[in-house]
């Protein structure tokens, strides 16, 4: 029996949290074609990010893997067809047929249709809304025993605001960054910076294009300091602290957005 592609939770709030790269599920016809190992695939996914959507009453958590369809890319690039589409990784035993690609894109279209329904309702109810687009990223690509990538270019928290209208939403981005930067993370402060590693993907771009006056999307990337990206093991104490840090930003962000 197939599992649901994503889980949606609704509540009475203008805040939505998403984890669109959380999933590890690949449909059977693609699983049979995949030559990429499970461990390599997991390393490029954003496991456990779904837990952090608990900061909001409205939540979307993906079960479907980005290797089936990547919802954070434009539609024409949402299916990884070639190694250059996916960090040089060889994924498929041979090229995917057009009908196989189309089946993946049907999920893409269905997701954005459902998302639009949710955001339309939030806009109608509250006038405006804020989306936390939660991700994680690797910083030990050179191997499990190799040194991590330099901290100068790899902040613990990266806020992507490349498509965000600063004249309208700048105070919201600042409220997020100031609050999470001030959070007491076991006696220290997290390294929080803007547009260093990523500037945000298609989800935030689509939201800002579709809802220019009412929608603010914060593309939040956590460096995988909360887990071992080579084994997939997570560190529970860090998972809890990251959730607390994220949760601390919700009230200031909501206030800055005028909600």
Q: What is the DSSP string of 183-195?
A: S-BTTB---EEES
pLDDT of amino acid 158: 98
pLDDT of amino acid 1: 33
pLDDT of amino acid 146: 93
Separation of alpha carbons 31 and 34, rounded Å:
5
β-pair partners for 137 = 223
Vertex 61, ends 237 and 23: CA angle to 5°?
80
CATH 3.40.630.40 correct for 6-256? yes
β-pair partners for 129 = 215
User: For the chain, how many residues are written?
Assistant: 259
228: nearest Cα among 34, 24, 48, 23: 48
Separation of alpha carbons 40 and 44, rounded Å:
7
Strands, E assignment, the chain: 6-9, 15-19, 58-62, 129-137, 157-160, 192-194, 215-223
pLDDT of amino acid 70: 98
Per DSSP, the three-state class of 168 is: helix
Per-residue pLDDT of the chain (259 residues; tens, 9 = 90+): 346 999 999 999 999 999 999 999 999 999 999 999 999 999 999 999 999 999 999 999 999 999 999 999 999 999 999 999 999 999 999 999 999 999 999 999 999 999 999 999 999 999 999 999 999 999 999 999 999 999 999 999 999 999 999 999 999 999 999 999 999 999 999 999 999 999 999 999 999 999 999 999 999 999 999 999 999 999 999 999 999 999 999 999 999 999 9
Q: Are 126 and 18 in contact (CB under 8 A)?
A: no
β-pair partners for 61 = 7, 19
Separation of alpha carbons 86 and 38, rounded Å:
15
Per DSSP, the three-state class of 25 is: strand
pLDDT of amino acid 3: 67
């Amino acid at each position: 029996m197939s599992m649901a592609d994503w889980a949606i939770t609704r509540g009475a709030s203008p805040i939505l949290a998403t984890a669109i790269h959380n999933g590890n599920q690949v449909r059977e016809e693609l699983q049979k074609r995949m030559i990429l190992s499970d461990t390599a695939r997991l390393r490029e996914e954003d496991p456990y990010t779904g837990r952090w959507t608990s900061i909001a009453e409205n939540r979307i958590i993906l079960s479907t893997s980005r290797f089936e369809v990547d919802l954070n890319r434009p539609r024409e690039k949402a299916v990884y067809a070639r190694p250059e589409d996916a960090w040089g990784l060889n994924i498929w035993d041979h090229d995917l047929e057009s009908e196989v690609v189309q089946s993946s894109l049907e999920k893409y279209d269905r997701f954005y249709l459902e998302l639009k329904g949710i955001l339309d309702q939030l806009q109608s109810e509250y006038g405006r809304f804020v989306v936390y687009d939660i991700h994680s990223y690797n910083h030990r690509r050179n191997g499990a025993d190799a040194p991590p990538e330099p901290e100068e270019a790899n902040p613990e928290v990266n806020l992507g605001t490349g498509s965000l209208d600063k004249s309208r939403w700048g105070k919201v981005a600042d409220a997020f960054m100031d609050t999470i930067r001030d959070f007491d993370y076991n006696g220290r402060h997290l390294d929080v910076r803007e547009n260093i590693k990523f500037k945000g993907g298609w989800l935030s771009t689509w939201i800002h294009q579709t809802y220019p006056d009412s929608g603010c999307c914060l593309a939040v990337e956590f460096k995988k300091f909360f887990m071992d990206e080579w084994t997939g093991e997570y560190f529970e104490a860090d998972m809890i602290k990251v959730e607390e840090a994220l949760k601390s930003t919700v009230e200031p962000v909501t206030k800055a957005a005028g909600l």
